[in-house]
Structure 1
């Protein structure tokens, strides 16, 4: 009898789901940071313009991580490294507003690197 080897492509459902949810939360966090910056500008607070820039940077980063999460099956190692970098950037850019999104994106990147 001959043995057949079936090569199954591993599903990356967990990484994709965590990356998409984390990216959506990051976009909401960036919008909230921009809203907070607008309120700070109305009350003439200092450094409210830098918060606006960081909010925009997080939204751009989260759109990139959203795309990376959707195409994670192409090259899991490269996408995993880029997702880890995107998760760290969420923490750096908007700190407290990006905790949940940063953790979810970071976990998605780590899972992509660990799972074969």
Structure 2
């Protein structure tokens, strides 16, 4: 995995954690937060909680899978990204950065209403 892919994965997990974190178990939430938010290593977490690195790894992997499962079922991150893209386009139209095609603003508003 390249550093760019690793960063992309970390950003995705952090965004999913922000949305679905309260649905995780206490250990999953704690270990995932330490690993992805606070940049602890598996060894540091294992030492602090007096468990094996493998146990920490398993908790984190299960937490990642749970977050991805929630996203697959609920799609809240996907919907957020769609709204952000539409909002950016609307801002660009009002800032005069691009010329609006006839009816484009109306279409963007319709998209916003239909995301959910």
* Alignment TM class, shorter chain as reference: 0.3 to 0.5
Highest Rg: 1 or 2?
2
Q: TM-score, normalised by structure 1?
A: 0.33
Q: TM-score, normalised by structure 2?
A: 0.33
Higher relative contact order (CA 8 A, sep 6+): 1
